[in-house]
Chain A
């Protein structure tokens, strides 16, 4: 069986009537999945070339001028993250030293990078030592609340605050203090309202609401929240969290999910 070249298949895709071996190609395609797949690829690219949306997106890149301050901001964030990691590492190894160091009062730590590092520390500690996680989250809140608009764009500060309050809520719910956790989630939600372009924060907050409702055996409400989160996580490509929410739904005794 002779396979057809890509040029022959491309000519057939472009104009079947003009292809010299049209009949042979059509007979061959019925018996050869490889050539059929190659023809499908050719046709998919051709269809893409005829998609006006793709041309418009190309046009957007042609008349765009990138904002250098954006890249300087990325560099600032990366530098702060590295510095915060370096400064906090020894303190996080020794929780007593961490408490004594009172970092929220220290100018060196008053950066977005420090808030992120503390939030990450809270996340890392929450399942093993939720009390430590609570300490780190509270430090993150204190630093985030001390940041002033002008040092960072307002929406970045609100995002940091929302994330820190969310981390406090997570630690509190693992300590079984559900009412306090819900209060912290209220604060997180209020902060995230100022950051419409950050879709993860509000969804994770909602996810925590679902878990707290589940822990309190309010299964119907928990399922409702879990489904909403699951859909958003799936759309954002966050498969891990999507599956977690799906499994929370499947534990519901009346679940049809």
Chain B
């Protein structure tokens, strides 16, 4: 083996050379941003809604999950399942610490229910639709929200928009069609 003898120990010849690491780091940043933007909303939602972590503490919890993931990435086989498992563990630990400080706002039962609601398939479907909604465009998003979440009828939406119910139906069909196309493309990519 070709080794040097600097400072009294065996050294590989490459030690001390400045290899170009900037490409590796730049690629890591791009990859990290992709992983973060695709999954951070889901993790925030799990922490906030399923485990009722106070809003001011959610971001720190989510960041801890991502730093640990970035340090462990080569060992992770299924990214989303790993991240969901990680935020659940971190959230449970958060409440255990609060419990130790004699503040128990969330019961064990609630935590178990949260776990049950977080099966991988259900989570994947929710995130698929959430990503779709983010890409469907503002006009469609508002219209779909009025119809599906606020429960407004097409006639009521038409009144608000100063148009006809038929027109609203047509717009809803277009938005649903766009949503399906996005879902298909996301499924093909995954």
| A57 and B127 within 8 A (CB) | yes
B53 within 8 A of A: no
Interface residues in B112-137 by Cβ distance below 8 A to A read: 120, 125-130, 132-134
Size range of the chain B interface in the assembly: 35 or more
Q: How far is the CA of A67 from the CA of B179 in the complex (A)?
A: 30
| B77 and A7 within 8 A (CB) | no
CB distance from B184 to the nearest CB of A (A): 8
8 Å CB contact of A196 from B24, B29, B90: B90
Q: A66-B37, A78-B25, A101-B9 are in contact. Are A49 and B127 (CB under 8 A)?
A: no
Interface membership of chain A positions 66-79, coded 1 if the CB is closer than 8 angstroms to chain B and 0 otherwise = 11001111111111
Contacts of A41 in B (CB 8 A): 180
A29 within 8 A of B: no
Contacts of B75 in A (CB 8 A): 200
Tell which of A132-140, A174-182, A210-218, A232-240 binds the partner.
A232-240
| B10 and A238 within 8 A (CB) | no
A131 within 8 A of B: no
Contacts of B48 in A (CB 8 A): 60
| B130 and A198 within 8 A (CB) | no
Q: How far is the CA of A7 from the CA of B100 in the complex (A)?
A: 57
B40 within 8 A of A: yes
Tell which of A20-28, A82-90, A183-191, A222-230 binds the partner.
A82-90
Closest A residue to B38 using CB positions: A61
| B40 and A64 within 8 A (CB) | yes
| B129 and A73 within 8 A (CB) | no
| A240 and B45 within 8 A (CB) | no
| A106 and B82 within 8 A (CB) | no
Q: A50-B148, A66-B36 are in contact. Are A7 and B86 (CB under 8 A)?
A: no
| A199 and B85 within 8 A (CB) | yes
Q: How far is the CA of A71 from the CA of B129 in the complex (A)?
A: 26
B167 within 8 A of A: no
Q: How far is the CA of A237 from the CA of B82 in the complex (A)?
A: 7
Q: How far is the CA of A140 from the CA of B82 in the complex (A)?
A: 24
Instruction: Give how many A-B residue pairs fall within 8 Å (CB-CB).
Output: 217
Q: How far is the CA of A254 from the CA of B180 in the complex (A)?
A: 50
Size range of the chain A interface in the assembly: 35 or more
Contacts of B125 in A (CB 8 A): 48, 51
| A75 and B9 within 8 A (CB) | no
8 Å CB contact of A10 from B26, B120, B176: B176
| B76 and A200 within 8 A (CB) | yes
A155 within 8 A of B: yes
A146 within 8 A of B: no
| A82 and B21 within 8 A (CB) | yes
| A57 and B41 within 8 A (CB) | yes
A151 within 8 A of B: no
Contacts of B42 in A (CB 8 A): 57, 60
Q: A90-B3, A90-B14, A97-B10 are in contact. Are A199 and B82 (CB under 8 A)?
A: yes
8 Å CB contact of A197 from B81, B89, B129: B89
A37 within 8 A of B: no
Q: How far is the CA of A91 from the CA of B132 in the complex (A)?
A: 49
Binding site for B on A (CB under 8 A): 6-7, 10-11, 14, 41-42, 45-46, 48-58, 60-62, 64, 66-67, 70-79, 82-83, 86-87, 89-91, 93-94, 97, 100-102, 106, 108, 112, 116, 120, 153, 155-156, 159-160, 195-200, 232, 235-240
5 more contacts with CB within 8 A, not counting A48-B129, A236-B81, are A6-B180, A49-B148, A57-B42, A58-B141, A197-B61
Q: Top 5 A-B pairs ranked by shortest CB distance?
A: A237-B78, A78-B28, A196-B93, A237-B81, A74-B32
